[in-house]
Amino acid sequence: MVLLSLTASHHELDLDALERLSTGSLSVGRTVVGSCRPVQGTVVISTCNRFELYLDVDAPLDGDTVRHATRHVAELVAESSGVTPEAAAASFTVRSGTEVAEHLFAVASGLDSMVVGEREIAGQVKRALAESRADGTTSKTLELLFQTASRTSKRIGRSTALGGAGRSLVAVGLDLAGRSMRPYPLSRAVIIGTGAYAGAAVAALRARGCNDIRVYSQSGRAQSFAASHGTGAVGVDTESLVEALGDTDLVVSCSGARRRAPGPTAEVVPGAEASLAYVLDAASVARARDRAAARAGDEPEPDALVILDLALHRDVEPSVADVEGVLLYDLASLTTHAPATERVVVDQARAMVRDAAALFEETRMGRAADAAVVELLDEAEREVAVEVGDALARLSAELAPHGQVPTASDHDEIARSVRRRVHAALHDRIVAVRATALAEARAAEAAVVRGAERALRAVPVTD
């Protein structure tokens, strides 16, 4: 078995490239498991700043199976997202062994996020595993990996200052918005979307004293979300949203629900920017601002409308920033305002991640090491048997002149003494053999993955 991850995040790609890569990502996990027999399981994490596939590959150590599976996955990602196979392959970082666990544990703990220490990612990692279970694409190894990631995240949250910092993209955005609008207790907010970020936004707004919150969704879930979160529902069509924006101070958009536009633009090559319709475009926002100005009459100009676009697949058309009286912050701009985290806190959390990853990997690779230890123990038992036989022979020779023979008690006492001495001397050898077996297994797996990474750069595959 080889544990493999293909990851692309805001560290390696700009957000536009990451958005194109992750388009259609929800179906990739099912497709990979269904079409590539060696892949025993897969979990996909697709968030506002990352697209990652974790693969459990049943492969021999010659690496051919892993290389083929890796190339195949890159082609499937390319097909689903509308990018070329070469672009998909070039976008991924390939990890294996301890690197896989260490990376995932860091992600789940918020150490790899745009806002270091953000807590929403822990829930997204858990949901990725839950979705994999629902699709029937997980495996025992991936279950253990992701469950350990969640436990590590919780432990870091409890044990370090990172967990109490309250950092998140939502918090950064609301802090930034608060500088340009009325106090939150006097403000009205509209949330676009009904997912995890929407729920986090409601909680964060209420914590700041804002209770006039409404939700909009094209999915039809606005009413149920409003009922469960105690908010108002705007509606499900564009006009109802535009009407709501006329007396709104803040929009938090986090649906990621851009859709293929009807008409001629639907024929554009999949993945092209022009083929995706924004949830909120410049014309709609301008119309809402005009209505707000008309209602104000001779009164002072309405306050600025602040829009936070937290979706990777942008909900809000970038040209909305050009509408008079509107302040638009997207993921890239919010990242520049993220607070710095103390180095000592990050180092403490990363040390915990490394320890957890090493322990996980030792457990996962333990079968090879255990086999070597069992062989050593069998060898020790053979040594014990020989030494006990020799000791009994000497005792028999001593007792023979007296007409006596060793008793069962003599046999047991000699066996206990010999076994105690042999096993005491065996401890250091067990530690050394186990370490060597683990190192050899890791080296073999690393060699396989290096070959897989080279093959990934060589897509497309035709066999």
Which residues are catalytic, by number?
48
Tell me the mean pLDDT per 10 residues along the chain, length 463.
Answer: 68 61 69 82 82 82 67 80 76 80 92 80 90 90 94 90 69 90 93 84 92 87 86 71 88 72 35 59 89 70 84 86 92 79 83 91 69 78 89 90 88 88 80 71 62 56 43
d(CA 110, CA 100): 16
CA of residue 92 relative to chain centroid, distance: 14
pLDDT of residue 256: 64
pLDDT of residue 260: 41
pLDDT of residue 148: 95
pLDDT of residue 463: 41
pLDDT of residue 77: 81
Domains of the chain as residue ranges with CATH: 2-166+449-456 (3.30.460.30), 169-336 (3.40.50.720), 367-441 (no CATH)
Work out whether the CA dihedral 398, 402, 403, 404 comes out positive or negative.
negative
d(CA 33, CA 116): 33
pLDDT of residue 126: 93
pLDDT of residue 453: 58
